[in-house]
């Protein structure tokens, strides 16, 4: 249970507290009921693309077990659930002139209805990395601005039309940096394009990631424009984008490392065009004529195209000046302090350590820089070697509990002491699931999944996260009565 001191601080009225997932990571049933292929289908089943050689054909079998998963949410007492729609389940070939799959529409419509019937708010992501393969084959997918913007807007409009009477919280894209950099720069995510010929026979890491990011922002902005002009007045919802970005802390107080930390943030977060109407100066200097420019008409659509700031964050990096990696802002990341100690507890994921002070610092930075309400849409921790532990040990996920304790305290401090406007907290993830390039070797869930039987087992972290919500909700009711 949370401490008495922590319980005395309340969350704002209407605060959404829940768990998050993504379609390809949990649904499975990749060939069922008319679903088309996404770029992750064949990619994840290609030898060498995932650590364990496994793909998302079954995942957590949530396409079949969706009612069980909703009952799991209900038993946890959460009041909000963030999930994503699979574009290729709704429009199997993806395009604006391609047939709509009514069975896919029905699945998500029934899912939304069941959430609402159980008093759970649906928080919907339109795109979580699973582009229809047909669009990649047809015209290069995210590399083709004219086609992808139109097809994505068409898909978004269809979702607003079919689900918007019940869905009041929309996210256009999940983590555009990951789509662009990991899919078209480093080549470790689908579609796996890269200048590294050991990974891909196609791609240009110097240009394609920046083009893809440019096109993503335009697609996002056109979807937001469509929602605001044709749906918002009647449906009354909110729409925005969710962005990955971790706190960048200078390695020490030297001027070069302080500047480097800002450069790392400029590149990792990179959404000034949406919120400020311009690119960071450092990105302009670093990329020169490789940085795509918007026309005046495009700037008018992109700037201001989010009702809020969607925040996915997991860790803090200490930043040193130097290095040639443009995707890190030509800086070097480390978890090792100047005195040789580690920043925090090491996760199974090599890029992740605990450091709640960084979470609070990032909340403050984003609030002061962009002045938009913040929805924390992902935050979580992978316990080291959890996948190889006996079940009883894995269920006592002490390191993840520690992580969520720090995150909860950081949110409450940011709200009550710093004045940051925070509207949600979605822990990643409801379930252990397919963790992209890491396959099933890494577990982020608050619920343990036995992949052989698809049996779900609540972990200690689930009990902590839901007990905090229950305690704060009870106190809110007492104070409002």
Active site residues: 378
In whole angstroms, give the CA distance from residue 202 to residue 25. 26
The answer to whether 236 and 304 have CB atoms below 8 angstroms apart is no
In whole angstroms, give the CA distance from residue 61 to residue 451. 9
* Residue pointed to by tokens 């992978």: 382
- Spatial neighbors of 196 by CB under 8 A, at least 6 apart, are 186, 187, 205
Tell me how many degrees the CA angle 205-208-211 measures, rounded to the nearest 5: 145
In whole angstroms, give the CA distance from residue 386 to residue 357. 25
In whole angstroms, give the CA distance from residue 217 to residue 297. 14
- Spatial neighbors of 263 by CB under 8 A, at least 6 apart, are 282, 286, 329, 330, 331
Distances (CA, A) of 363 to 379, 380, 456, 457: 12, 16, 33, 32
**CB atoms closer than 10 angstroms to residue 31:** 11
């Amino acid at each position: 249970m949370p401490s008495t001191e922590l319980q005395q601080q309340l969350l704002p009225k209407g605060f959404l507290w829940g768990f998050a997932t993504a379609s390809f990571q949990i649904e499975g049933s990749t060939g069922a009921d008319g679903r088309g292929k996404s770029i992750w289908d064949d990619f994840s089943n290609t030898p060498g693309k995932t650590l364990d050689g496994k793909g998302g054909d079954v995942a957590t079998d949530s396409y079949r077990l969706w009612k069980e998963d909703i009952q799991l949410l209900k038993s946890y007492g959460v009041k909000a659930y963030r999930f994503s729609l699979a574009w290729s389940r709704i429009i199997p070939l993806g395009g604006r002139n391609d047939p709509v799959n009514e069975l896919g529409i029905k699945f998500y419509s029934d899912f939304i209805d069941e959430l609402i019937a159980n008093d759970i708010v649906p928080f919907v992501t339109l795109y979580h990395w699973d582009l229809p393969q047909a669009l990649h084959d047809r015209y290069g997918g995210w590399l083709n601005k004219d086609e992808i913007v139109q097809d994505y807007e068409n898909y978004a409009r269809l979702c607003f039309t079919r689900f918007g009477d019940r869905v009041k919280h929309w996210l256009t894209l999940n983590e555009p940096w990951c789509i662009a950099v990991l899919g078209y720069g480093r080549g470790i995510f689908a579609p796996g394009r890269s200048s590294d010929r050991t990974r891909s026979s196609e791609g240009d890491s110097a240009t394609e990631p920046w083009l893809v990011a440019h096109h993503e922002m335009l697609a996002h902005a056109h979807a937001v424009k469509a929602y605001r002009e044709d749906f918002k007045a009647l449906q009354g919802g909110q729409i925005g984008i969710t962005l990955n970005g971790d706190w960048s802390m200078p390695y020490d107080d030297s001027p070069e490392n302080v500047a480097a930390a800002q450069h790392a943030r400029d590149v990792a977060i990179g959404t000034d065009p949406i919120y400020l109407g311009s690119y960071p100066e450092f990105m302009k200097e670093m990329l020169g004529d490789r940085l795509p420019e918007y026309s005046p008409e495009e700037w008018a659509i992109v700037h201001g195209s989010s009702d809020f700031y969607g925040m996915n964050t997991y860790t803090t990096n200490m930043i040193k000046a130097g290095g040639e990696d443009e995707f890190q802002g030509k800086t070097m990341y480390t978890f090792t302090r100047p005195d040789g100690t580690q920043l925090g507890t090491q996760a199974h994921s090599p890029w992740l350590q605990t450091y709640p002070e960084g979470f609070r610092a990032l909340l403050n930075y984003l609030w002061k820089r962009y002045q938009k309400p913040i929805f924390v849409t992902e935050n979580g921790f992978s316990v080291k070697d959890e996948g190889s532990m006996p079940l009883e040990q894995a269920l006592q996920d002490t390191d993840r509990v520690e992580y969520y304790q720090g995150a909860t305290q950081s949110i409450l401090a940011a709200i009550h002491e710093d004045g940051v406007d925070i509207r949600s907290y979605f822990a990643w993830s409801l379930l252990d699931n397919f963790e992209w390039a890491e396959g099933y070797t890494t577990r982020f869930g608050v619920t343990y999944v036995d992949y052989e039987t698809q049996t779900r087992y609540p972990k200690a972290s689930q009990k902590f996260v839901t007990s905090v919500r229950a305690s704060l909700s009870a106190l809110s009711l007492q104070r409002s009565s």
